[in-house]
Structure 1
Amino acid sequence: MADPEILVAGETLIDFLPDRPGGLDAVETFTRRPGGAPANVAVGLATLEATPWFWTRVGSDPFGDLLARTLGEHGLPDRFVERDPEAKTTLAFVSHDEDADRAFTFYRDGTADTRMEPGLVDDEALETVSWVHLGGVTLASEPAREATIDLAARAREHGCTVSFDPNARPELWSDREEFATLIGELLPRVDVLKATPEDLAEADVGDSGNEPAALVRAACDRGPHTTLLTLGREGAAALATEDSPWTGETSHPGYAVEPVDTTGAGDAFTAGALAALSAGEDLEETLGFANAVAATTTTAEGAMTALPDRDAVARFREATPLAGDE
């Protein structure tokens, strides 16, 4: 296999999915699933025939064994998959409301992914990839925070396109202002930003009540040349400035589906967008493809386990009307 064109970095964890909607205090049974936003993106890319390098760190415990095995089964190389003999693997318990929207409760104090350290991804690797994708959860703890910021800076030095998903998780931050400050410091080092209105609000970039066009402009004003804004049932919007290879502004209404589980839908969108942009697709096709990947994912339970391949995405796009066209 040729060296990957994309490197993804960040947490891999276990999601525990509930057997019913409602608060965690009312749930008696959970189903274990591999997860973590960057891990979902990495597996999504592999499923879409754009296998990346993946830098992550899991414990040398049974959950870490499961995750390392799962990554390998999806074809991800183990070059940058670290095992920590002194820390456990992160766990996240998911709760759903009646519309399948979810919230997370993390068990992540001193776990393996918080202990990622700068320098594991060497210059040789950065010289061979064209894209580096980062997530925001690793910014919540040291030394993983320093490792994430360091990788972003070194990737830019090597001429890589840096993409970033803030993935705001307020429950991981004791100080909301610290999150906003860190995102503000990182955005000038980012080329492609994928975010939700809620992410941008937490980062003090625009207001979640603003129109999508205003939000993508506000985000690009902070550094990225391209912003991809996911809007749930309302699809997605995007803006690429004149500094971008795919200049333009566009939107996509999304697809008409009845979601079963939205866990990982944003990560599926990111995988679709990275696969499309890295293959030279324009912004309009990128949004359509990424929305189809995300919408397909919501029709099954789990994040990693629901990710579609290219054939499934093509069939979905042929068979599923755009939202509002039913």
Structure 2
Amino acid sequence: MTRDVLVAGETLIDFLPETPGKLDEIAAFGRRAGGAPANVAVALATLDLPPLFWTRVGDDPFGDFLVRTLAEYGVPDEFVERDASAKTTLAFVTHDEDADRSFSFYRDGTADTRMQSGTVPDAVLDDAEWVHVGGVALADEPSRSANLDLTERAAEADCTVSFDPNARPELWGSDTEFETVAGWAVEETDVLKATPEELRALGADGDDPEALARSACDLGPHTVLLTLGGDGALAVATDDAPWAGVARHGGYPVDPVDTTGAGDAFTAGAIAAFVDGEPLEEALAFANAVAVTTTTAKGAMTALPDRDEVRRIRER
């Protein structure tokens, strides 16, 4: 089946805290589906652009829940794999008083670290317009090689390749390892979505966000989408991009409940807008509207908007 978009990477369980605070002080957590690429895939499906999604979960009760959740959101299951020999990854999330979050992963040898090269056939990439990959899958072998191979083959197939480094220091042996391995993916990337901290970790530099994004363009991508939290987002695209230029958007006002997955919602919004042929400014505004909506409830997928809701946000 021909699809506009293929997303690849982890699907996991987010355990969200009932109250803000440190991990050792929280008494109760609620289970939610998560994983940055899974969040992107579900957000795209909610925006009427259901992607093919290559992921791997355990053949266990948590995997059952995740597979069922993906199906409920309309994500095709052609490349949703089950691993009979590995568990599903767990991530415990903590929030501060401003709803900003941090993660503690249980991911030693879990299913999403065991993705295998060649799972997605070349014929699928020949039919895809866009391929999106996340950085967490690059932290461990064999998923590292499998996802790097996917980005290389996608680039050869003339897909637009997007990459979210999604830096999680505890998953990497060192900052140098992250910069090196994620840098390999960036070399094959057309559209890089990141935070300022992630761009610096990848070797970019600059005294302000625009200079930092321009520096990141020198690493390989023709477009850098820089998320700036409460200050919105910035996009810088070189003359090699179909939407060359610079765009800024200050975001939309919101009282956040949980920022988990907001960056992934932003990524999905940007991809959907670009696939629709929208210019850079429109894509940034659309992506911010998708992102802000998902912060209004606990969980990365709970409050994902459809296109009507995005339109209402933008008209307020």
TM-score (norm 1): 0.95
Asked if the contact 2:83–2:111 (Cα under 8 Å) also holds between the matched residues in 1, the reply is yes
Residue identity over aligned pairs, in percent, reads 66
Residue equivalent to 1:224: 221
The answer to whether 1:288 aligns with 2:285 is yes
Separation in structure 2 between the aligned mates of residue 236 and residue 100 of structure 1, nearest angstrom = 19
CA displacement 1:16-66 (0-9 Å, x = unmatched):
000111101110010000000000000000000111000000000000000
CA distance in 1, matches of 2:212, 2:303: 30
Report the equivalent of 1:47.
46
AA partner of residue 31 (structure 1): G
In structure 2, distance between residues paired with 1:40 and 1:154 = 23
Contact 2:125 2:157 in 1 (8 A): yes
Asked if residue 80 in structure 1 is aligned to residue 79 in structure 2, the reply is yes
Q: Give CA deviations for 1:265-321 in whole Å, capped at 9, x if unaligned.
A: 0000000000000110000000000001001111111101221111111112222xx
Report the Cα distance in structure 1 between the residues aligned to 2:174 and 2:281, rounded to whole angstroms: 37
- Which residue pairs with 2:194 in the alignment? 195
Shift of 1:202: 2.1
Alignment of 1:91-170 (within 5 A): 91-170=90-169
Q: Shift of residue 185 of structure 1?
A: 2.2
Distance in 1 of aligned mates of 2:309 and 2:247: 25
Unaligned runs of 5+ in 1: 320-326
| CA positional deviation for 1:4 | 1.5
Partner of 1:215: 212
Q: Which residue number corresponds to residue 24 of structure 1?
A: 23
Q: CA deviation at 1:182?
A: 1.2
Q: In structure 2, give the amino acid aligned to 1:149.
A: L
Letter in 1 for 2:147: T
Other-structure match for 1:240: 237
How far the C-alpha of 1:205 sits from its partner, in A, is 1.9
Structure 2's unaligned 5+ residue stretches are none
For 1:324, the equivalent position in structure 2 comes to: none
Q: CA deviation at 1:68?
A: 0.5
TM-score, with length taken from structure 2: 0.98
Query: In the alignment, residue 242 of structure 1 is paired with which amino acid?
Result: D
**Distance in 2 between residues matched to 1:315 and 1:109, nearest whole Å:** 43
CA distance in 2, matches of 1:15, 1:62: 14
* Residues 1:273 and 2:270 aligned together: yes
SS in 2 for 1:224: coil
Letter in 1 for 2:222: H
Partner of 1:297: 294
Whole-angstrom distance in 2 between the partners of 1:56 and 1:206: 33
Question: What CA deviation, in whole Å up to 9, does each residue of 1:108-160 have, x standing for no partner?
Answer: 00000000010000011111111000000011000000001000000011110
Aligned AA for 1:72? A
C-alpha distance in 2 between matches for 1:126 and 1:309: 27
